[in-house]
Structure 1
């Protein structure tokens, strides 16, 4: 028994002996064969007792193999079971925004594509979060998965984060309120949840190597806060440690994070797994508190190396026991042993209806000048639907969270169906399709309408030839007419990890490493003048015009080289572009091919696609432009906040001829709107709405659903007007990113620095209006001395239609010499009211919003005195002000933290 039996374990063994004795005296009892063979299968025992019995039965080799992930011929994140002990496999699926099925034998790899997590946060609805989690949990267990890798609890710290769409926003309290119901709903389906990425994994740029440096206070108040609440309120099963370093130490090696904070202060009883390949050590990681290495042998650091470390005394067997126990305890506790995952058909129709409901609730009405929305089919005769992918059934963020939807509805289809036969709906793209190439920096790609593969060709684009070597040797492996030269391969081009437009040809996977390409044809412009041509590339790129070398870009790092040339109108110029991934030979990382042929045009040059959109908008009553960005997990974040690929020019030109322009923006992050915001009537932020996007967009545009979404992130006016603007803060210098803004993240930082955003945190309009009156506060203490702070007020719908309002309560600066935020979200409630109806509502506030984390005492401190309380419809739209008096005496026992752990017991 390894000599570590505690009292509880002795009682478990005695109970087992008594059961065996009784079975002899009074005959067989009602147990399964498995229970007779494996005493830990006795469901009458607690999860802790069962886990302890099983750990004691396992050999060292078995335990190490169990906690070391294994790579096999299956698909996805899997950790094989151990048959001789009856241990089921940990069948994991990526899951922040849906169950990503990797096995083609399981339901054709299809599952419900839910709205992006940032959209779920925009609902500000715990009920929506519960429904969202119920869909994910049900689909996971019925598609053979018992572990879901999500939610993403990475705070949306900067406006450029390419993975912000997987996040639940910039505020830790909002995150916890949404994530708690999400996690509880998933785990009620006997599916274990793994929250990620622990910790300070807030950017894609250098995410594998960056050192994120933050104060203990910022870590506790902002970045670890969602984990703390999920551990306390949702019985979180697992946490995933990240690739990056934290304060100089690899996250999966950092005992202060994994043991002292997570298990000590936060009382985490679950297990810690590594992100796929994030573990970098043998003894350090397991001693720091990591419990499961993925992918493990033969690529990892555990397995045989860990057995050797135990045998030579570097790691104690008790440490291995603890890791095995933590995993097994959660597997017993969450029902993975007793309720095996199945392969049962999912209810695509019912789950799609939920996806539609949440997508509509997530949409944020940012602007609605002259009440252009909702659209009234009795008053309009025609609608122009415009946008590069408005006829595409599915728009989503790329990377590991991308799922294969059960069905799709495009914005065009949804609007057409809802408009009916009496309203004429016509479509034109307006620009070339959006793709992973639009992530790259530099000027927009030259539109396809100015390019021809040959002078007499009827199709647009350039002839493209690709080689799977970097020197264009041998025959090309693929040839086609490329609409634009806008490549971003590697990670972004792998099967199941890309979200390329279906209008673009899919390039073969053999081009995802070393490759080269040649693009040939002609360029023809409609107006004489100066044009600044450019190549943006990682790896060398050369541009020839009429045989003359115009640009020679060495491409030793990703960057842009420009050259201004004079082009005559309606004249064909021969174009040749050669690109090679020779950055690999220069010591670069193999990120795949990255290359764009871009330009800045002479004034007044309008793309043929834009011209068609202008003509359609001119003859239509309303123009709905569906804009979008390409956001994805990968190597880089967005380089700017502008809409890519000529969409800004598209909006500007269309708004000149139609006063009723409605923008439906599909993005996972904020976009800069200054160039066109004042020229359009209405703006709807739709996020990435999932597979029911078309119907959900139509629901909101036509008023079948009154918009109630609120921004879970601040939308800045431009990329330089945010609290995180210095190179030191982002992306970092020499792979060190310093979180010098401290606790002033998101709206806290905008308020502290006096930066005016385009749209504030919590902002969102409605088709009705709400009145706030008669605010009151109350403070009481429970038996343990913890304070309960409440705000009550009257809320009335003073408009003409039923609608929901999110009442938001913010605490102000605290009565202390310690620097605190001017505003901090302390509570919220979503309330639906019919026209003319009033309701008295009470909101219990977050006590931590009236406290700060003291680094010296390692505890939360509630100071004594008056604290301002702000009640309103957003962080900047404050309707009522009051105060509340808090007391250090009431808060003296408030969440001090403990030294508890989840060791074998």
Structure 2
């Protein structure tokens, strides 16, 4: 991706300014009684001098984090030694500012990391990282908690949007420039989460069981690459267990693998509250305890452990050395973070350009796209949040943007005054409740509150802050739907995805009870399957008859099929309590009133969208999912809140229906993809999402994104589709697929996906010619160098970018290896009719496997197939290399 020179200059020039002006000040400081402040010394020399002057209590203070409600989280400065505080900012999709005094907590909301992965562009990754480093430094932060290097192990993961995809090589190639970009400023990057942190379901307790080979070849691989090639400062250990041991107390992964095998010289910090011990975690290799509840396990406890001989002072020195060396080497002592205004417009342009390059043209029949505004007179924009500019991943990655552009706004602006652009939501807004399992929520337009309050849609809701409906309710209101997911998801950064919905007070984020009453109007005669998805006790009454009694200590869905007649109105009462939630009351209210209607049953809101689409030349249906860190992964790939039905109904009346899908994960399309001519996967595109989407739809930008994850037909046809693998049985998740993760697993199991890894169409066409592969040894060590060369020609009518992908086949060994494995790629932009000769150097570890007996990488000799193409299932040429 090409970034405008003036924007690039703005990001880079800050480093030069800091170096020029700050160095003289540091030199003056070095003349004082603090010789470690002399910047002419190496980071290791300065660290040694500083440690010689610190006592045990001060070293322990250094490695023990603190929580400050005003500033967020950090470890305190130690003024006597000039040690700056570590002021940490959540990432990885932008700088999440916790201090309301800092620029109104606003920063550039970048496209989600999964969107960055879809660019397959190392230059875009570097620019992404530079922007993060720039904004972190200029908002008083010197640590970014990113990138996220958790492999997208299965396609419906709620935190996949923070990932750089399912392939370790793609992740690595993007993570290296990403980290280098961040650390080109006096800011330390933190790769997370170490290790096997690949699901949100039971994420605090799940035991992830994986082979040493799978860990080395797949899950540790991106970490290894950024350690070797980007000077990574920090690694964050995760909540889960790894092969039976808490990740932050596991000496095998923290010391043996990370520090010894991968030669990591930085420091290991815990996720917030992920440390559960004093001596055990310290001796295992944890170097910095970030704040836990209530006060953590280090501090005075760690000092006592040293005094009692449970932890050696050498280990404390190692912790402090690792932390201080990184702080010195990255410039934190010499160039303190500042509070300078962010260039909202320039940085917004960068966010837009990356979003444009990330969008994947999944399908485009009959040249439906790009839209021609000289031929189109009317466009119907449809979707529950198409007028909302907050489609982004939630949780710690949620950024308060400097400004926003909605898809509706972007399409209107691009279409111009001669095209009539109209909007209809078609379904209810997406919310945290849509993460819950079970059928979509009953539409609000079919529900009416008690006594028809103000002609509102929905049900009358009464909330109590106790579990037994005792006393007067603390809150009475009308809820559009019964689709509630409180507790963890009802805090700032989690509920910000749903600005159309009324915020629920925090007093209901733990034990609570609620009652919803009103009427349900039947839209079509037939059989309806009603459902309750809940944790705790949920009861559904229809016309005062109990039809569902859902009492469970786990999140479950219960259903009841009933026959209704069109036009009937039935009384509805739902009673819910967290009281029987098995000790999980801190999660707050979790309940959804769902339905599975008969064919043809359409509510009023959807019918309005259908009518609009029918009279428009083109219908653009903008869908979205709700993705967030938390405690549960979505168990289905269906679009939430009746959006699948919305697409099918719109496609019936308008043959020019374009689906723009915004999500951080794969979605299921099999029920409607054959009915629509064009599909654009837009991910979570960041604050400039509207302009990026409209530029792609109207051809101002030729889409060049490629899928960094496989899109399966449905959730039952993936390499991770049994309960032992996910969500796990008895608290254990078995990584039995081994190294066959993502597209490798689909090929191994013979599963045909809906859209393959690497897939992505263009408004132009490309031809591959003269493909050759060559292997040779070089240097004194006779290192293997494998290159693929080819000529790439743009044979279409418009400029465009192509990602040439090179895969290697099964290795000549008795050890089972993938039938196809990404070994190299290159993105290139060509004008119409132009040709360019490319050389792609292949990754030699893709030609190797990890030997668990020898504890090393083994490269077998013999003939290896080489595949060159535009995706993992669109192979244009096949050749081979011979490894001596």
> Is the contact made by 2:433 and 2:484 (CA closer than 8 Å) also made in structure 1?
yes
Q: Does residue 803 of structure 1 match 2:800?
A: yes
1:689 to 685, 688, 697: 685
How high is the TM-score relative to the length of structure 1?
A: 0.93
1:606 aligns with 2:602: yes
- Is 1:632 the counterpart of 2:628 in the alignment? yes
User: 1:320 offset after TM fit, Å?
Assistant: 0.4
* Structure 2 partner of 1:56: 52
Q: Render the CA deviation track for 1:333-360: whole Å, top value 9, x for unaligned.
A: 1111111011111001000000000001
Q: Distance in 2 between matches of 1:136 and 1:477?
A: 43
Partner residue in 2 for 1:900: none
Pairwise CA distance, 1:119:
0.3
Moved more, 294-303 or 237-246: 294-303
Distance in 2 between residues matched to 1:562 and 1:747, nearest whole Å: 35
1:568 equivalenced with 2:573 (yes/no): no
Once the two structures are TM-superposed, the CA of residue 73 in structure 1 deviates from its matched residue by 4.0
- Structure 2: how far apart are the matches of 1:411 and 1:41? 51
**Which of 515-524 and 571-580 deviates more?**
571-580
Cα shift at 1:81: 1.1
1:164 to 160, 164, 174: 160
Q: What does 1:186-265 correspond to in 2, within 5 Å?
A: 186-265=182-261
Distance 1:510 1:161 in 2: 29
Q: Tell me, what secondary structure is at the counterpart of 2:155?
A: coil
Q: 1:722 aligns with which of 718, 738, 750?
A: 718
Mapped pair 1:335 → 2:318: no
Q: Check if 1:440 corresponds to 2:460.
A: no
Counterpart check, 1:854 vs 2:860 = no
- Offset of 1:77 from its aligned partner? 2.1
What do residues 718-752 of structure 1 show as CA deviations (whole Å, max 9, x unaligned)?
A: 11111111111111111111111111000111111
RMSD (Å), alpha carbons: 1.4
- TM-superposition CA deviations, 1:815-867 (whole Å, max 9, x none): 11111111110000001001011111000110111111111111111111111
Specify the alignment match of 1:776 in structure 2.
772
**1:633 to partner: Cα distance:** 0.2
SS in 2 for 1:417: helix
Q: How far apart in 1 are the matches of 2:866 and 2:225?
A: 23
Q: Which of 387, 393, 398 in structure 1 is aligned with 2:394?
A: 398
Is the 2:392–2:497 Cα contact (8 Å) retained in structure 1? Answer: no
SS at match of 1:99: coil
Q: 2: distance between equivalents of 1:583 and 1:870?
A: 56
Take 2:248 and 2:257, find their aligned partners in 1: how far apart are those partners? 13
Match of 2:521 in 1: 524
Note if 1:865 corresponds to 2:862: yes
Residue 653 of structure 2 is aligned to residue 650 of structure 1? no
Q: Which residue of 2 aligns with 1:21?
A: none
Mark the runs of 5 or more structure 1 residues left unpaired by the alignment: 1-27, 888-905
Match of 2:784 in 1: 787
* 2:410 aligned to which of 408, 411, 414: 414
TM-score by length of 2: 0.96
Q: Which residue of 1 aligns with 2:753?
A: 757
* 2:348 counterpart residue number: 352
Deviation, 1:29, is: 13
- Report the Cα distance in structure 1 between the residues aligned to 2:427 and 2:178, rounded to whole angstroms: 38
- Equivalent positions of 1:248-287 (< 5 A) are 248-287=244-283
What is the CA–CA distance in structure 1 between the aligned matches of 2:363 and 2:419, rounded to whole Å?
A: 24
Aligned pair partner of 2:381 in 385, 394, 405: 385
Deviation at 1:529, TM superposition (A): 3.2
After superposition, the C-alpha distances for 1:495-548 in whole angstroms (9 at most, x for unaligned) are 223234221111111111111111111111133333222211111112222222
Q: Distance in 2 between matches of 1:398 and 1:781?
A: 48
Q: State how far apart, in whole Å, the 1-side matches of 2:258 and 2:530 are.
A: 52
Stretch deviating more after TM superposition (849-858 or 692-701):
849-858
**Residues in 2 aligned to 1:883 and 1:292: alpha-carbon distance in whole angstroms:** 48
**Which of 274, 289, 296 is matched with 1:293 structurally?**
289
1:325 matched to which residue of 2?
Answer: 321
Pair 475,495 (structure 1): closer, same or farther in 2 beyond 3 Å: farther
Any conservation in 1 of the 2:273–2:293 contact (CA below 8 Å)? no
Deviations 1:763-822 (A, max 9, x none): 000000000010112223332322111110010000000000000000111111111111
Q: How many residues align?
A: 859
Secondary structure of 1:460's aligned partner: coil
Name the counterpart of 2:8: none
Distance in 2, matches of 1:747 and 1:291, equals 36
Query: SS of the residue aligned with 1:137?
Result: helix
Distance in 1, matches of 2:89 and 2:369, equals: 40
Is the 8 Å Cα contact of residues 60 and 307 (structure 1) preserved in structure 2? yes
Residue equivalent to 2:458:
461
The separation in 1 between residues aligned to 2:775 and 2:746, in whole angstroms, is: 29
Match of residue 728 from structure 2: 732
Does the 8 Å CA contact 2:482/2:593 hold for their aligned counterparts?
yes
CA contact (8 A) 1:664 1:684 kept: yes
Give the structure 2 partner of residue 712 of structure 1.
Answer: 708
Separation of aligned partners in 2, 1:100 and 1:465: 34
Secondary structure (helix, strand or coil) at the match of 1:558 reads: strand
Question: Separation in 2 of the partners of 1:31 and 1:238?
Answer: 28
Q: Is the contact made by 1:396 and 1:499 (CA closer than 8 Å) also made in structure 2?
A: no
Q: Which residue of 2 aligns with 1:126?
A: 122
Check the 8 A contact 1:402/1:498 in 2, yes or no: no
Alignment partners' CA distance in 2, 1:452 and 1:482: 10
The alpha carbon displacement at 1:298 in A equals 4.8
Answer whether contact 2:579 2:585 (CA < 8 A) is retained. no
- Aligned residue for 1:595, secondary structure, equals strand
Deviation of the 1:444 alpha carbon:
1.2
Rounded to whole Å, the distance in 1 between the matches of 2:776 and 2:188 is 36
Relative to structure 1, the CA distance from residue 73 to residue 573 in structure 2 (aligned partners, 3 Å threshold; closer, same or farther) is closer
Distance 1:298 1:480, change over 3 A: closer
**Contact 2:448/2:457 (8 A) holds in 1:** yes
Residues 34 and 497 (structure 1), Cα distance of their counterparts in 2 relative to 1, 3 Å cut: farther
| Cα contact 2:526–2:564 (8 A) shared by 1 | yes
Deviation of 1:563 after TM superposition, in Å, equals 2.1
Runs of 4+ residues over 4 Å off in structure 1:
none
Q: Does 1:834 align with 2:828?
A: no
Q: Deviations over 1:204-259 (max 9, x none)?
A: 01111111111111100000000110011100000000011111111111111111
CA distance 1:755–1:76, change in 2 (3 Å): same
1:884 is matched with 881
Shift of 1:399: 0.7
Counterparts of residues 527-676 of structure 1 (less than 5 Å): 527-584=524-581, 586-588=582-584, 590-676=586-672
Q: Is the 8 A contact 1:71 1:297 kept in 2?
A: no
1:446-525 paired onto structure 2 within 5 Å: 446-457=442-453, 458-525=455-522
Structure 1 residue matching 2:496: 3-state secondary structure = coil
- In the TM superposition, what is the alpha-carbon distance from 1:553 to its structure 2 partner? 1.6
Moved more, 644-653 or 566-575: 566-575
Is contact 1:70-1:297 (8 Å) kept?
no
How far is the alpha carbon of 1:260 from its aligned partner? 1.2
Between 183-192 and 532-541, the greater mean CA deviation after superposition: 532-541
Q: Work out the CA distance in 2 between the residues paired with 1:740 and 1:72.
A: 42
**1:34 offset after TM fit, Å?**
5.4
Distance 1:589 1:272, change over 3 A: farther
Asked if the contact 2:524/2:602 (under 8 Å) is kept, the reply is no
Distance change (3 Å), C-alpha of 1:873 and 1:445? same
1:455 and 1:522 in contact (8 A); partners too:
no
Judge conservation of contact 1:866–1:885 (CA < 8 Å) in 2: yes
Whether 1:91 aligns to 2:87 is yes
3-state SS of 1:790 partner = strand
Give secondary structure in 2 for the equivalent of 1:293. coil
Which of 147, 152, 167 is the aligned partner of 2:148? 152
Whether the aligned pair in 1 keeps the contact of 2:26 and 2:37 (CA below 8 Å) is no
> Aligned equivalents of 1:302 and 1:679: distance in 2?
59
Quick check: 1:427 aligned with 2:423? yes
